[in-house]
Amino acid sequence: MKIKKFRAAIVQMKSSINKQDNLIESIKYIKEAADRHADYIFFPEFQMAISSDTQTVDELYAIAETLPNSKFIKRLCQYSKKYNIGIVGTFFEKNNQKTDKKVFDTAFSTDKNGKIISVYRKLHLYDAFGFKESSKFCRGDKIPKPIVTTIGKIGLMICYDIRFPELSRILTVNGSDIIVIPSGWVHGIMKEEHWITMLKARAIENGVYVIAPNQVGNIFCGRSMIIDPLGSILTDLGDKIGIEIVDIQRERINEVRKILPLLKNRRNDIYDLNVLN
């Protein structure tokens, strides 16, 4: 049964290139979130490690891991179970279906028993603003079904995906009431403004909560946010490293969808995005 409200822990990290150091930091955050009675903890993109411009394909491949044998993920799952807390996190995943050494930028979710219940591989690679993720990463090719959890149905996206509104709409019409977007949003001219505007838009147009943990420092802008279904910002971590806990009222979703019935008013007779792989 879905609970009426839940406590969300959103993490704003400054990851290094050392995945062991980032794992230690992640475990500290899990313990703190559990101590503060959070139901789920949400980590940003590049939780395992950052990938710098100078990092080669071989170097990135060397730190990437494979499911279900990833030591990084297994450790997080152990602490998920130990502290009875769900996790949404990210890692670099080797692609066993290809002969080259490009890897997936992958998000995963566990339940409170430490069991992996969903895996999402980033669909849209950041080939923009002078960056070219496709030189080291391979694209995912599936949109997983929303994750059924005790806090609701969670849809997963990653960072650059927010610039493609059809993805959040597909997740929503297939049942998502919470969209989680682990990110490594790079700072730059208008970039922060784009980040805030699109996060609010994805929440408003779909009547969902948006939980967007982001990297900070290095080349990243921070501003991790939780936004309610009417576009109100419930927390904004600014440029600080750390964790915030937010109480989320699930009934808010139905309240907003009743007064602003965007999903109900869609012209399904003309267009249909009810599509999943």
Average pLDDT in the 197-211 region?
A: 98
Write down the pLDDT at residue 99.
Answer: 75
Question: Which of these, 194, 219, 49, lies nearest to 136 by C-alpha position?
Answer: 49
Is 131 inside a domain boundary?
yes
pLDDT in tens, 177-192: 999 999 999 999 999 9
pLDDT in tens, 49-79: 999 888 999 999 999 999 989 999 999 999 9
Question: Which of these, 221, 183, 202, 20, lies nearest to 90 by C-alpha position?
Answer: 183
Asked whether residue 45 carries a pLDDT value surpassing 60, the answer given is yes
DSSP string of 10-65, one letter each residue: EEEB---S-HHHHHHHHHHHHHHHHHTT-SEEEPPTTSS----TT--HHHHHHH-B
Is 119 inside a domain boundary?
yes
State yes or no: cis peptide before 182, omega within 30 of 0: no
Average pLDDT in the 16-24 region?
A: 97
Is 151 inside a domain boundary?
yes
Cα distance between residue 229 and residue 242, in whole Å: 24
Q: What is the CATH number of the domain that holds 33?
A: 3.60.110.10
Asked whether residue 25 carries a pLDDT value surpassing 60, the answer given is yes
Mean of per-residue pLDDT scores for the chain: 95
Asked whether residue 159 carries a pLDDT value surpassing 90, the answer given is yes
Is 152 inside a domain boundary?
yes
The pTM for the full model equals: 0.96
Is 255 inside a domain boundary?
yes
**Confidence tier at 5 by pLDDT (50, 70, 90):** confident
Number of domains into which the chain is organized: 1
Cα distance between residue 226 and residue 219, in whole Å: 22
Name the residue range of residue 128's domain.
5-259
Average pLDDT in the 32-44 region?
A: 98
Is 211 inside a domain boundary?
yes
Asked whether residue 43 carries a pLDDT value surpassing 70, the answer given is yes
Structure tokens at 148: 């059924």
**Confidence tier at 277 by pLDDT (50, 70, 90):** low
Share of the chain above pLDDT 90, in %: 90
Question: Which of these, 165, 105, 167, 96, lies nearest to 131 by C-alpha position?
Answer: 105
Is 252 inside a domain boundary?
yes
Q: How many CB atoms lie within 10 A of CB 137?
A: 24
Average pLDDT in the 222-238 region?
A: 98
Average pLDDT in the 210-234 region?
A: 98
Residue 52 contacts residue 217 (beta carbons within 8 Å): no
- Name the pairing type of β-strands 103-110 and 116-121: antiparallel
Write down the pLDDT at residue 2.
Answer: 57
Write down the pLDDT at residue 70.
Answer: 95
273, 231, 43, 49 alpha-carbon torsion, rounded to 10°: 80
Tell me how far CA of residue 45 lies from CA of 27, 187, 273, in angstroms. Answer: 16, 15, 26
**Confidence tier at 231 by pLDDT (50, 70, 90):** very high
Is 267 inside a domain boundary?
no
Q: Which residues have CB under 8 Å from 143's CB, separation 6+?
A: 120, 123, 167, 170, 171, 275, 276, 277
Cα distance between residue 145 and residue 147, in whole Å: 6
Helices (H), the chain: 19-35, 57-63, 71-83, 165-173, 191-206, 251-259
Residue 222 contacts residue 238 (beta carbons within 8 Å): yes
Write down the pLDDT at residue 111.
Answer: 96
Asked whether residue 1 carries a pLDDT value surpassing 60, the answer given is no
